[in-house]
A and B are shown apart, each in its own frame.
Chain A
Amino acid sequence: MVSEKIKHLALQRIPWSAAIILAAVGLLLLTFPFLFTRPFPQHLMIMIFLFAMLGQAWNIVGGYAGQVSLGHAVFFGMGAYTSTVLVSRWGVNPWLGMLVGAVVAVAASIIIGYPCFKLTGPYFVIATIAAGEIVQILFINWEWVGGARGLFVPLLEESLPNFQFHSTKVPYYYIALAMLVLSILVVRWIERSRLGYYLRAIKEDIDAARGLGIDATKYKLIAMAISALLTALGGTFYAQYVLYIDPASVLPLSLSIQVCLIAILGGVATLWGPLIGALILIPMAEFTRVYLGGGGRALHLVVYGALVVLVAVFQPGGLMALVKGLKLPRLAPIGGESKPSPSRIYESTDHETRG
């Protein structure tokens, strides 16, 4: 029953050509670790998967619901810290810790989201920054979770139950891939569901949506919760991968920004956008650092910044907008029409921004 539903959702509206490409790519991804056996390419792919997933998660609330959050590192960090504290203090299995971490992150998302969703536009953005910074500072000064010194994940024998592998990265690869696929399925489900419809309405024109009887805050919170949950899973994965976490690595503003950028570069409110965004940004960061950065002068970041600006200027709708061309299925705007424009579907109305 469920599998049928999934199959139905997954196959909905995919033309044959896309299906074949998808299958080919899928095959490549599945066999990748055996084609490229050195750790570095595997590490690269793992990071791409992780960030693509984080981008997918962010997209739910930032893209589809139009609430740009620059505080998502909070959820990432909570996932990482919850599972790490549980495993290092009480020997709780990291997989279980992962689930607990997800619950903690969801709770946090509601606590943060509820007051913040009263805000709109840049007010909201900066509120999320503030929330993220507060959490980071608290963790830095909280001795019980290691404070500034961070936490080491205890080294155990490598095994799937222990969620640790020392001699090879391949299991990490597949776990990350699985998580990415999960996030894609979740986003796809949202896209086609009533929730997605409500979110689009909220994003398009929140007052009109409310006028139609949609409880905007409730649905924004739901979106935020789902987003937080997925992000937290990523956090635990990171902790078990790097085996050391500290506030600077799992809670910083720069992480929130990077996740947001990936979704934007790829295309907000699109299913494949974050994946494309990660596919570009992560290797770019790695390679400019390897080829140019060792010279010690941050040239790679200059290139990165310039590319980011160029892409923003030339293709603001992200790369997915390019791929989809201008043939977007335009939703009939709720609450009246204003001048048509191709990127309208992504825009939040200007009413929101002036508070």
Chain B
Amino acid sequence: MTPQALLLAQTVVSGLLVGLMFSLIAVGLALIYGVMGLVNFAHGDLLMLSMYAAFWLHKLFSLDPLLSLPLCTLLLFLLGITIYRLVVKRILDAPKISQIFATFGLVVFFRNLAHFLWSPDYRLIREPFLRGRLEVFGIYVSIPQLVASIGAVVASGFIYWFVMKTEIGRALRATAEDKEAAALMGINSDRMYALAWGMGAACVGVAGALLSNFYFVFPEVGAIFGLTALMIVVLGGLGSIPGAFTAGIIVGLVQVLGGYFIAPAFKMVVVFLIYLVIVILRPQGLFGKW
């Protein structure tokens, strides 16, 4: 391949990997919104907590992130349910903006709690099991990123299957559709909401453990991913898992390609503009509701 074509191919591949990383984070957010119509602004910070969990498990118990992945997932699952029980449950009937307010308060709280407890230093897991890169026809693929991408596909697939094909998944969808009617059929909406939060957070738990292989951990890491995840979820059609997944890939590609061809300083502008264009022309996002 010519050097130009090679660079282009590399850019596309990198964009894809970045995008799948975003997808993984966005899918959990989509689940929460899909079931209860609540936008969790603190989603990025849940990611941050998961990454810290992976880091500390590694530092204190020499547990490789790949091995601590189940643990991180479980921890975040429990955290999601806890947040639901302590905070979200009480604001279910509140005005929408107050709900935003509550999850936003969580953002400030978690972010700075991390700052306070673990200092603002940047942490990185130095020698994870997954490291290095592959070279495929002159294109470099970082192994941790590749695994994260595979993880994204698997996790999204699992969530999708769970929601669409299982009994509980049906119950979740019923609750999302019409809480009262579902209650009449014996579905406990409180339990469903808790489950949605738990699973949504668990997704991010997986993401955090995988990201910690190659990304650094610090209190503000949630900010960077959180906003993008929000946009991706909305772009994909709120509540749609395949939508969030696809939108994540699109955003990743747009960001990297846009940055390369236009100017890196404007790469986010390109992403935002595309969001605006798609959402205005097709307000329900790419996939609408599930």
Binding site for B on A (CB under 8 A): 62, 68, 115-116, 118-123, 125-127, 129-131, 133-134, 137-138, 140-141, 253, 257, 260-261, 264-265, 268, 297-299, 301-302, 304-314, 316-318, 341, 343, 346-348, 350, 353-355
What are the residues of chain B within 8 A of A317 when measuring CB–CB? 94-95, 98
| A312-B231 contact, Cβ under 8 Å, with A123-B279, A138-B269, A264-B97 | no
Closest chain A residue, CB of each to CB of B113? A302
Among listed B70-78, B104-112, B148-156, interface-contacting one = B104-112
Q: Are B234 and A126 in contact (CB under 8 A)?
A: yes
Q: Are A308 and B104 in contact (CB under 8 A)?
A: yes
A68 to B113, CA, bound (A): 28
Q: Is B116 an interface residue (CB 8 A)?
A: yes
Q: Are B100 and A68 in contact (CB under 8 A)?
A: yes
Q: Are A355 and B109 in contact (CB under 8 A)?
A: no
CB<8 Å pairs between A and B, sample of 21: A62-B97, A68-B96, A68-B100, A116-B276, A116-B280, A122-B33, A126-B230, A129-B230, A137-B269, A297-B116, A302-B113, A305-B113, A306-B105, A308-B108, A309-B105, A312-B87, A313-B90, A316-B94, A316-B101, A343-B95, A348-B96
Among listed B122-130, B209-217, B281-289, interface-contacting one = B281-289
The 0/1 profile, CB within 8 Å of A marked 1, for residues 184-226 of chain B is: 0000000000000000000000000000000000010000000
Closest chain A residue, CB of each to CB of B288? A355
Q: Which of B247-290 contact A (CB under 8 A)?
A: 265-266, 268-269, 272-273, 275-276, 279-280, 283-285, 288-289
Closest chain B residue, CB of each to CB of A130? B272
Closest chain A residue, CB of each to CB of B107? A305
* Among candidates B102, B120, B265, residue contacting A137 with C-beta atoms closer than 8 Å: B265
Q: Are A141 and B265 in contact (CB under 8 A)?
A: yes
What are the residues of chain A within 8 A of B138 when measuring CB–CB? none
Summed over the interface, the residue pairs from A and B with CB atoms below 8 Å come to a total of 163
* Among candidates A130, A268, A297, A313, residue contacting B97 with C-beta atoms closer than 8 Å: A268
Q: Are A346 and B100 in contact (CB under 8 A)?
A: no
Q: Is B93 an interface residue (CB 8 A)?
A: yes
In the complex, what's the smallest C-beta–C-beta distance from A250 to chain B, in angstroms?
18
Q: Are A298 and B115 in contact (CB under 8 A)?
A: yes
A350 to B112, CA, bound (A): 33
Number of B residues near A (Cβ < 8 Å) is: 53
What are the residues of chain B within 8 A of A347 when measuring CB–CB? 95-96
A353 to B36, CA, bound (A): 11
Apart from A68-B100, A130-B231, A347-B95, what 12 extra A-B contacts exist at CB < 8 Å? A62-B97, A123-B238, A125-B39, A264-B98, A299-B116, A301-B108, A301-B112, A305-B111, A316-B94, A348-B95, A350-B37, A354-B289
A304 to B90, CA, bound (A): 20
Q: Are A127 and B276 in contact (CB under 8 A)?
A: yes
Centre residue among B95, B231, B238 by max chain A CB count within 10 A = B95
In the complex, what's the smallest C-beta–C-beta distance from A192 to chain B, in angstroms?
22
Q: Is B91 an interface residue (CB 8 A)?
A: yes
Q: Are B238 and A355 in contact (CB under 8 A)?
A: yes
What are the residues of chain B within 8 A of A134 when measuring CB–CB? 269, 272-273
What are the residues of chain A within 8 A of B288 when measuring CB–CB? 355
What are the residues of chain B within 8 A of A353 when measuring CB–CB? 37, 96, 238
A353 to B87, CA, bound (A): 21
A297 to B116, CA, bound (A): 5
In the complex, what's the smallest C-beta–C-beta distance from B86 to chain A, in angstroms?
8
Q: Are B110 and A126 in contact (CB under 8 A)?
A: no
Q: Is B227 an interface residue (CB 8 A)?
A: yes
* Among candidates A118, A307, A343, residue contacting B94 with C-beta atoms closer than 8 Å: A343
What are the residues of chain A within 8 A of B104 when measuring CB–CB? 257, 261, 308
A299 to B120, CA, bound (A): 12
| A304-B98 contact, Cβ under 8 Å, with A137-B268, A341-B93 | no
| A121-B96 contact, Cβ under 8 Å, with A302-B112, A312-B91, A313-B102 | yes
Closest chain B residue, CB of each to CB of A112? B276
In the complex, what's the smallest C-beta–C-beta distance from A33 to chain B, in angstroms?
32
What are the residues of chain A within 8 A of B110 when measuring CB–CB? 305
In the complex, what's the smallest C-beta–C-beta distance from A338 to chain B, in angstroms?
11
Closest chain B residue, CB of each to CB of A352? B96
Centre residue among B87, B97, B109, B111 by max chain A CB count within 10 A = B97
Q: Are B116 and A298 in contact (CB under 8 A)?
A: yes
* Among candidates A122, A301, A348, residue contacting B234 with C-beta atoms closer than 8 Å: A122
In the complex, what's the smallest C-beta–C-beta distance from A72 to chain B, in angstroms?
14
What are the residues of chain A within 8 A of B91 when measuring CB–CB? 312-313, 316
A119 to B219, CA, bound (A): 33
Q: Are B105 and A305 in contact (CB under 8 A)?
A: yes
Closest chain B residue, CB of each to CB of A302? B112
| A261-B101 contact, Cβ under 8 Å, with A122-B238, A301-B115, A346-B95 | yes
A275 to B212, CA, bound (A): 43
A241 to B280, CA, bound (A): 38
Q: Are A312 and B109 in contact (CB under 8 A)?
A: no
What are the residues of chain A within 8 A of B227 when measuring CB–CB? 129, 253
* Among candidates A125, A253, A311, A354, residue contacting B100 with C-beta atoms closer than 8 Å: A125
